[in-house]
Amino acid sequence: MGLTGVITALVFDTTASNSGVHRGAAKLLEQQLDRKVFYLACRHHILEVLVGAVWENLFGKVKSPENPWFKHFKDVWTDLTTDNPTTLSIRQKWLNKKKKECKEILQEILRSEKPPRADYR
């Protein structure tokens, strides 16, 4: 059987070369194993995907490799006032509902006796 018989999951960052649905390394390995495996995308990189989806829903798709909003934000970073922070007001009903659901799930994880990982405390 060897190693290939015991592989049940793949851990990788979410670059297209790893996670591409047709030619990504994970997909190619799955084809070589001739079975499905559990994908464990890097928890740091997966947040980029989630934040990117939220950004696109709120502000639209960015058409260039460099996001002009982020460049502007970087340019004015030292001028931002931090003594009175405010939160983003979400007016879209479905997105606001999802925000509340996510908040409840995260609060439940934090309240639980054993969070998924100690570094989330």
Q: Is residue 48 part of a domain?
A: yes
Tokens of 25: 């390394």
Domain match, 14 and 62 both: yes
C-alpha to C-alpha distance for 109 and 111, rounded to whole angstroms:
5
As a whole number, the mean pLDDT across the chain is 81
Q: Which helix (H) or strand (E) holds 10?
A: strand 9-12
Q: Is residue 117 part of a domain?
A: yes
Q: Is residue 77 part of a domain?
A: no
Residues across the chain: 121
What pTM does this model have?
Answer: 0.39
Number of domains in the chain: 2
Helices within 1-121 (DSSP H only): 16-19, 25-33, 43-59, 68-76, 93-111
CB 39 within 8 A of CB 29: no
Range of the domain at 114: 88-121
Domain match, 64 and 109 both: no
Average pLDDT over residues 16-34: 91
Domain match, 36 and 64 both: yes
CB 37 within 8 A of CB 9: yes
What distance, in Å, lies between the first and last C-alpha atoms of the chain? 40
Q: Is residue 80 part of a domain?
A: no
Domain match, 51 and 23 both: yes
Q: Is residue 42 predicted with pLDDT exceeding 60?
A: yes
Domain match, 92 and 62 both: no
Tokens of 75: 């340019």
Domain match, 62 and 109 both: no
Mind listing the pLDDT tens digit for each residue in 74-110?
899 998 888 888 877 767 777 778 888 888 887 887 7
Domain match, 18 and 52 both: yes
Tokens 């309240």 label which residue?
A: 111
